[in-house]
Chains A and B, each alone.
Chain A
Amino acid sequence: MSDRELDQQLVERAQRGEKRAFDLLVSKYQRRLSRLLSRFIRDSADIEDVTQEAFVKAYRALPSFRGESAFYTWLYRIGINTAKNFLTSAGRRPVVSAEFEDEDGESLDMASQIPDHHTPEAEMMNQQILSAVNAAVERLPEELRTAISLREMEGLSYEEIASAMNCPIGTVRSRIFRAREAIATELRPLLDTAKNKRW
């Protein structure tokens, strides 16, 4: 089951009334969506508000989602429209207005050359998480580090990673899991602190 098929399965569960399935999609895409919205909205609190509103609108529109496009592409379009409405109602101009014309969520997501506009506090929090993850990855045994990097950064399948690392697929599966768990273990104290701070 591919990533897109997995999303489709979660969408269909949500369409059948399982709100928990939609929660999983929120968990998966909230950071990417907010990153996209930060191209147009300057204030961190506003970005969170619009991200939240976009997800609620997406939930309401779920009955019309037929899976003709990837879920994230559909979600990003809703996000862009929500951001447009927000800026119009607030009488503000988008940070990068030209980006609104692009209807392809993926290419919007990849517009990483555009500078970010976050508050110093939000930027600091972002950096703390990023540093913690990178430090945890550096401490991983080489075979775990290679496996998780090939998966998350290069997007290789388990079969391709197995071929590249010359090991069975089951070993790849185990290495990626162990890498994630090791990183998550180091990240948890930071995330707990963040939760208490209500980032």
Chain B
Amino acid sequence: MKETLSSLMDGELSDKDAAQAMHMLGSDDQLKAAWQEYHLIGDALRGNALLQVDVREQVSQALQAEPTVLAPRNLVQKRSRPVARFALAASVAMAGVVGWYSWQGQQAGDPALVAQAVPTPGAQVQVVNAANQSYLDAHQDISLSDGLARASLVQPAAKGLH
């Protein structure tokens, strides 16, 4: 097992074997001691460490007083799953549709303003003052071709409000 640990340190195990080795490492004191010794040897050979420093025990004791870290799952996973993203987008879209219909229903009862929109690409919300309705009536044919087509769709309701 120590040979596997040695390979683990060097990044020379497959993901599956590495996961298994890390699991063993977490519960075997002898392996943990070897992990410490092997890293100490590496640090000594590279000459870039204070070899006598050992704060494992102090850190371990300090961490016992700390609440256990439990990172949200999405922080642990690097990539969000496409299904989750689709579900989120669908929820937002649904909320928008429901909100729109709700808002539209409220506006229908306002005698001063008539607001309407058409669910087509590039559609614009037209807020029309009832006083200008005659102008729109007169130019209905023109407006059909330049993006004001939606005005005609509310005509019956608007007229009824006059």
A residues lining the B interface (CB < 8 Å)? 1-3, 5-6, 9-10, 12-24, 26-28, 30-32, 34-35, 38, 47-48, 51-52, 55-56, 59-60, 62-64, 66-67, 109-110, 112, 118, 122, 125-126, 129-130, 133-134, 137, 148-149, 151-153, 157-158, 173-174, 176-177, 180-181, 183-184, 187-188, 191, 194-195, 199
- Interface presence of B87 (CB below 8 A): no
Q: Could you count the A-B residue pairs with CB atoms below 8 Å apart for me: how many are there? A: 191
Q: Which A residues touch B42, using CB under 8 A?
A: 152
- Interface presence of B37 (CB below 8 A): yes
- Interface presence of B44 (CB below 8 A): yes
The range of chain B's interface size is: 35 or more
Q: Which B residues touch A35, using CB under 8 A?
A: 48-50
Which stretch of B18-26, B127-135, B150-158 is in the interface? B18-26
Interface residues of B in 49-105 (CB under 8 A from A): 49-56, 58-60, 62-63, 66, 68-72, 75-76, 78
In angstroms, Cα B29 to Cα A158, docked, is 27
Contact call A158/B10, Cβ cutoff below 8 A: yes
In angstroms, Cα B40 to Cα A192, docked, is 14
What are 25 A-to-B residue pairs whose CB atoms are below 8 Å? A1-B8, A3-B10, A3-B11, A15-B71, A16-B71, A16-B76, A19-B68, A20-B27, A23-B32, A28-B39, A31-B43, A31-B51, A51-B53, A52-B55, A59-B63, A60-B69, A66-B75, A109-B48, A129-B40, A129-B51, A157-B11, A177-B7, A181-B2, A191-B37, A195-B54
